[in-house]
Amino acid sequence: MAKLTVETIDQVLDVLVAQKANELDLRHITFIDPYALLLLALGMRHRLEVGPHLVIQWPESPSVHRWMEAMGFFAEVDEFVPTSRIAPVRVTNALAPITSIAKEQEVSRLVEAFDRRLAERYPLTGTSRNALIRIMIELFQNIPQHSNATGAVSDPHGLAAIQDYTDSIFLAVADKGVGLHGSLALRPEFASLSDRSALDAIVFEGMSRFTDPGRGGELRRIARLVRNWDGMLTIRSGEALLIMDAEHGDIYDAPVFPGVQIAICLPRRVFGIEAPPIDNE
Amino acid sequence: MNSMHERMFPIAPFGVRLGTRLEGKAAREQLLGLLDELPQPGRVVVSLEGVEVLSGSFADEAIAIPYSRLASGEYGDRYLVLRAPSLEITDDLAHKLERRRLAMICLTDDGWEVVGFLAPAMREALALVVKRGETTPKELAEALNIRHNACLHRVGRLAELRLIRREEVGLAGPHPSYRLFSILSP
């Protein structure tokens, strides 16, 4: 495993969650996508909470290390990282670094900040830019609205990050809250659903923990939009993992992990961006 | 018919790119306050001019929920109409209205459109009421070439949805007779 991505991060999560292993070796990692980066941060935080102590060997690749720094990863996981590791950021190819999402009052400001970073780098076309803003509003807002729906989670720890690549824009939003099943189970008729069934009910049927018909349906609309844009959507919750592209959408088994983690990868051409302005590995 | 009172409710002062449910709730309180103060019969035109993004969450809290309360009869002889530079901005609102089985009239530069859920037959009847400004179920049934009872059903539903104004004007045998008015009329 040389790359930490949507496809491979669950192997790392397995180590972080399984309390048997006491070392995580990331030395040979040559690439990390934003979704994997957020899951790595949340997985480490989870491990810190439940123990036992874990020794982490950090990536040796300078470019990966610089990107992790620029994305604010080491600041986010500072409980695990020796102070000497937290160096000033020299390379700023990070589009929008890891950002904490806690209160609904902050959501619009955070979305504006993400949009501004994207607009500073690219001359975006209006329709798709506005659609991406709508997506970010709904996904960011879901964290304060739903991640602690039961009131039983001390820190759902919502995070978001965005990065551009030569062919795509990659948005990741993640928390370690109650998850889709935990939220939906607040309705008695959904209490016995599995993670897989809850994911299916919310993403494909537009269900919500609220009986109000105006609530819910947002993830379904986002999934349709991403599919129409020929993008890729990943939603992970509990032990269920949905990976959806323009043609397929399948739910897989995954190592159990709290909360909801979402990745949206959109072709740059959707935003009217053609030539890559930077090479960010 | 008494002429309709009208008030404007611009959404742009709440932001250009909207927004969360929390922000939508704040807008809703102001909109409901305006509806409360509006003399009857009256309409509030919710203007989306100057708004670039209208999320489903904001739209549901600020517009769809007040509209559902209006459709339940809570606000008497009052109506809500949208005004938008294009239908694109109403996309997420339309989704929320559809989920609530509601529909609104949206004024655009090119005329008006229905936003939300409305069956084609109902749209046809609505279009005729708007075109005529004022009519009766009997005239409408003749124009649509449908049975009188079917027409009464359609206009009853349109009135429930607050898409037309229906005024009782007397009795036709054991049943009330109505005059129908476009909510877009002056």
Banded pLDDT at A49 (limits 50, 70, 90) = confident
Whether A105 and B22 lie within 8 Å, measured CB to CB: yes
What are chain B's domains? Answer: 1-117 (3.30.750), 118-186 (1.10.10.10)
* Spatial distance between the Cα atoms of A47 and A15, rounded to a whole number of angstroms: 10
Percent share of chain B, pLDDT over 90 = 91
Banded pLDDT at A279 (limits 50, 70, 90) = very low
Whether A214 and B101 lie within 8 Å, measured CB to CB: no
Of A15-19, A63-67, B100-104, the poorest mean pLDDT is in A15-19
Dump pLDDT digits (tens) for A91-147: 567 888 999 999 999 999 999 999 999 888 887 778 888 999 999 999 999 999 999
Q: What is the mean pLDDT of chain A?
A: 90
- Comparing A128 with A20, which gets the higher pLDDT? A128
User: Which region holds residue B49: left if phi is over 0, alpha if psi is between -120 and 50, else beta?
Assistant: beta
Query: What's the pTM value of the predicted model, to 2 decimals?
Result: 0.92
The domain segmentation of chain A, as residue ranges, is: 1-84, 96-275
In angstroms, the separation between the Cα of residue B101 and the nearest Cα of chain A is 9
In chain B, which residues have their Cβ closer than 8 Å to the Cβ of A137?
A: 17, 19-20, 53, 55, 57-58
Half-sphere exposure of A278 (CA within 13 A, CB side): 14
Whether B52 and A130 lie within 8 Å, measured CB to CB: yes
Contact criterion met (CB below 8 Å) for A44 and A98: no
Domain A96-275: give its CATH architecture: 2-Layer Sandwich (3.30)
ipTM of the complex as predicted: 0.90
Which pLDDT value is given to residue A280? 46
Task: Please indicate if any CB of chain B lies within 8 Å of the CB of A125.
Answer: no
3-state SS track over chain A: CCEECCCCHHHHHHHHHCCCCCEEECCCCCEECHHHHHHHHHHHHHHHHHCCCCEEECCCCHHHHHHHHHCCHHHHCCCCCCHHHCCCCCCCCCCEEEEEECCHHHHHHHHHHHHHHHHHHCCCCHHHHHHHHHHHHHHHHHHHHHCCCCCCCCCCCEEEEEEECCCEEEEEEECCCCHHHHHHCCCHHHCCCCHHHHHHHHHHHCCCCCCCCCCCCHHHHHHHHHHHCCCEEEEEEEEEEEEECCCCEEEEEEEEEEEEEEEEEEEHHHHCCCCCCCCCC
Whether B19 and A105 lie within 8 Å, measured CB to CB: no
